[in-house]
Amino acid sequence: MDEHPIIFIDADEDDHDMFKQALAELALPHPILLFSNCQTALDYLTTNAEIPFLIISEISMPGMSGLELRKQIDQDPVLRRKCIPFIFMTNPVEDYLVEEAYELTIQGLFEKKETFAAWKTQLGSIIAYWTECHHPKRFNR
């Protein structure tokens, strides 16, 4: 099993369940780490040496928002050097959020799909892209 996890951050437990089911059906080699808030995810990221495969975060969260989490990662020299791909998956997508998100160093912003099948296809495409993409700190294969 690939030891580099996919981190999913969302306060909605139903989205956690859909994410887990979609990744299970996609039969990906990455473990899944689910967080219900950004502070807990940041605590995990700052206390673990591993480099996650990908972070997918909701923007609107209670407490620390996804935008603030991204700012915190960028401000931490150790986390920034890990070059972890960071994607927002949110609903609804508002123009001002898109502009604010892209002022940060994110690699994408996607609207959550309405159906499970569409969400699974979307996640599959995102993960396939990052599996093929070459970027700093990519794992040895």
Residues 25-81 have pLDDT tens digits of 998 889 999 999 999 999 999 999 989 999 999 999 999 999 999 999 999 999 999
Domain residue spans of the chain:
6-130
pLDDT exceeds cutoff 90 at 137: no
- pLDDT tens digits for 75-97? 999 999 999 999 999 988 989 88
Q: Residue 85: is the preceding peptide bond cis (ω within 30°)?
A: no
Let me know if 136 is exposed, middle or buried by CB neighbors in 10 A (0-12, 13-18, 19+).
exposed
Where does 6-130 sit in CATH, by number? 3.40.50.2300
